[in-house]
Amino acid sequence: MTQYAHITGWGMCVPEKKLTNAALAQMVDTTDEWIRTRTGISERHIAGNEDTTASLATEAALRALQVANLRPDKVDLIIVSTSTPEYIFPATACVVQDRIGATKAGAFDLLAACSGFIFALNVASQAIQNGTIVNALVIGSETLSRIVDWGDRETCILFGDGAGAFVLQGRNDPGGYLSGVMRSDGSGGDLLNLPAGGSKIPTSLATIHEGLHYIHMNGREVFRFATRVMVQATQEAVQAAQLTLDDIQLVIPHQANLRIIEAAARGLDIPLERCMINLDRYGNTSTASIPIAACEAVESGRLKAGDKVVFVGFGAGLTWGASVVQWSAPSEVKRKVRPERYRLLARLRSVLLRVIRHFEGLIWGQ
């Protein structure tokens, strides 16, 4: 029997600290008006010392699980999409798996920059639809403030930190994930990149001194690319779902720049009011921007069960993609699940496993 991948839970988490345009103007040569007129951004959330990509992802995941009424130990797969992982390895998804107590889940990270959440949503949905898994947790989480050059006004004004998560569950009733488009063009990789820290240019005193561990961007070329592919990807995904744009109640685009979203709306010939926009308060949170915007769309009543929604984004790589989803309601259960309660159990389990491994090492090491 065919399984349909339904989004049954959603959650978000952003750091408490906010950085306004006025505060940025004290750091670099810019003004609130200059930033707002060119980007649409007024403020962004910035990670504090206690915030990490994994900690934000964990909170978003637990909130999504609570909405879905799903216990962490029922999750089969965790995908964390991020450009700012906790480590190169282990995967940030494995850190999240341990912290929430998802004892039966496989976990891995997906790197496709700002398109990553759409790509991860596609991968998880396909795994559900082909019967490999039943429950998946897809997370987009970023601490971009830690790879931003705060002396470069072209980039530091754009980015913020945060995380968003979806729970996907297999159901027999039609709906949920309807179609997806994933595209890439590596010839444009140099337009938006972080040059050092990989195997090609390993970390050294020279790379640090030259600022090669910060985001580098050709803003004009990225803008031209984005306005073109946002329209193309949306049209392709809608057509693949055998729908028309008239069937779509809401478009949730990657929250990179208001002018890009406005251009995409014009290209699609839809009113801007049919697009969810919240970048004025969060900035560009990369792979977290779409799930964060989706959470706020639900909270504000703009996205309801039965609505058809398009998620569309673009990012470094170059990458771009779109998904069409029929929004679902959380699963009905007799008893409410409180995933937060599993956090303590997960911590105890993690400590116990480390102790066991320690003693195994002592025994086998003799």
| Catalytic (active-site) positions | 114, 254, 284
What are the Cα distances from residue 259, in Å, to 96, 104, 223?
Answer: 35, 43, 9
Specify the 3-state DSSP secondary structure of 184.
Answer: strand
Question: CA torsion angle for 307, 119, 75, 291 (degrees, to 10)?
Answer: -50
Specify the 3-state DSSP secondary structure of 186.
Answer: helix
The rounded Cα 129 to chain-centroid distance in angstroms is 21
CB-CB contact of 346 with 99 (8 Å): yes
CA gap 220, 20 in Å, rounded: 24
CA gap 134, 112 in Å, rounded: 24
What are the Cα distances from residue 301, in Å, to 14, 161, 360?
Answer: 21, 24, 54
CB-CB contact of 56 with 163 (8 Å): yes
The tokens for 212 are: 């090669």
Q: Where are the alpha helices (DSSP H) in the chain?
A: 21-24, 32-39, 53-68, 92-100, 116-129, 153-156, 205-209, 219-240, 258-268, 279-282, 289-299, 341-364
CA gap 319, 315 in Å, rounded: 5
CA gap 127, 136 in Å, rounded: 9
CB-CB contact of 208 with 153 (8 Å): no
